[in-house]
């Protein structure tokens, strides 16, 4: 693509003129940030004919990798230039360069996969009110299903969100169907912790609304995502479940290896067809539009990627663990 070649030359010219680490951060945001040039190009893939998407997606990802490599080289160059020259006969010292948290790394990777599938990335709130968190999701006041969520509450009767589904009503009110979006966010629950449960964790909510959305499409999207994310056909199964805001509801379970070598099924993605009452609360006619939604457990996604057996390791702050990534 001529546009990509021009963009590559422009970036190479800009990176050569950079003199400080601050400028490196700025150029990263400009090209590779969430609202950067490359992600905008990925978002445009949805508008291309189906035959052109794969070729264009490959070219854009190659451009992205090239830009990442040049930025890393520039950072290393600036770091070594700032080291005082001493005895040149001494052994070399590898500069200590930090890196993002493994969950942040995999969050960006997951976002890139969904961007190539035509999904928009929307930021989630971290504190919300009862109306968005429960009522708009088909939880009437006093409904026993509210007990499924062990929530925290502030003195102002607000909630640190227990699920990213709290954003569904906002999107239905502000987006005109058809639309597709993912909403990564941090969640909080007042519950006992163990090897697969934490009080603070991350989800990637997803929504697709159109006149023809179906359960088969939902399963196809989730399967395409997990196969791309893990790089192989990871064993999974689909089983029915219950959530007030979807009907029917289902969950995708994937095979998880325990410390003792045994394997078990781990719930990874609760999902389902958006309940008609959720559409009605947002003023969307469920007789015209259909949709599906899911909430991927990002921490568990990373656990399976790297064979991590205890979800609590992510937040202990142990550098011996974090430096492996």
Cα separations (Å) of 7 from 1, 13, 101, 231?
A: 10, 10, 29, 29
The owner of tokens 């026993």 is 144
Q: Are 256 and 264 in contact (CB under 8 A)?
A: yes
Catalytic machinery residues: 149, 163, 189, 203, 246, 293
DSSP state of 273: E
* Distance between CA atoms of residues 10 and 67, nearest Å: 11
Put the strands of the sheet holding 179-188 in their side by side order.
120-121, 179-188, 200-210, 290-297, 263-274, 246-257, 236-241
* Pairing between β-strand 159-160 and β-strand 179-188 as defined by DSSP bridges: unpaired
Closest C-alpha to 143, from 43, 244, 264, 65: 244
């Amino acid at each position: 693509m001529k546009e990509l070649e021009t963009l590559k030359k422009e970036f190479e010219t800009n990176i050569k003129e950079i003199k400080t680490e601050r400028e490196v951060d700025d150029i990263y945001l400009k090209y590779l940030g969430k609202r950067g040039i490359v992600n905008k190009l990925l978002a445009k893939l949805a508008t291309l004919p189906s035959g052109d998407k794969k070729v264009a997606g490959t070219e854009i990802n190659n451009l992205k990798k090239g830009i990442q490599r040049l930025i890393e080289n520039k950072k290393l160059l600036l770091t070594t230039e700032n080291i005082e020259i001493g005895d040149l006969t001494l052994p070399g010292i590898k500069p200590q360069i930090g890196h993002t948290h493994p969950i942040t790394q995999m969050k960006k990777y997951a976002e890139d996969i969904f961007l190539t599938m035509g999904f928009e990335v929307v930021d989630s709130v971290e504190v919300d009110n009862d109306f968005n968190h429960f009522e708009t999701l088909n939880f009437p006041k006093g409904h026993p299903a509210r007990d499924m969520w062990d929530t925290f509450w502030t003195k102002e009767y607000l909630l640190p969100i227990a699920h990213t589904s709290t954003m569904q009503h906002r999107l239905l009110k502000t987006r005109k169907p058809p639309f597709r979006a993912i909403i990564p966010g941090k969640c909080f629950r007042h519950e006992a912790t163990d090897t697969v449960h934490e009080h603070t964790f991350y989800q990637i909510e997803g929504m697709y609304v159109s006149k023809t959305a179906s359960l088969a499409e939902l399963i196809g999207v989730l399967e395409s995502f997990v196969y791309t994310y893990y790089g192989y056909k990871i064993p999974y199964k689909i089983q029915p479940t219950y959530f007030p805001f979807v009907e029917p509801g289902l969950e995708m379970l994937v095979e998880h290896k325990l410390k003792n070598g045994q394997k078990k099924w781990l719930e990874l993605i609760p999902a389902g067809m958006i309940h008609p009452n959720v559409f009605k609360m947002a003023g969307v006619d469920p007789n015209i539009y259909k949709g599906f939604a899911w909430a991927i457990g990002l921490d568990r996604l990373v656990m399976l990627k790297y064979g991590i057996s205890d979800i609590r390791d992510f937040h202990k702050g142990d550098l011996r663990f974090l430096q492996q990534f």
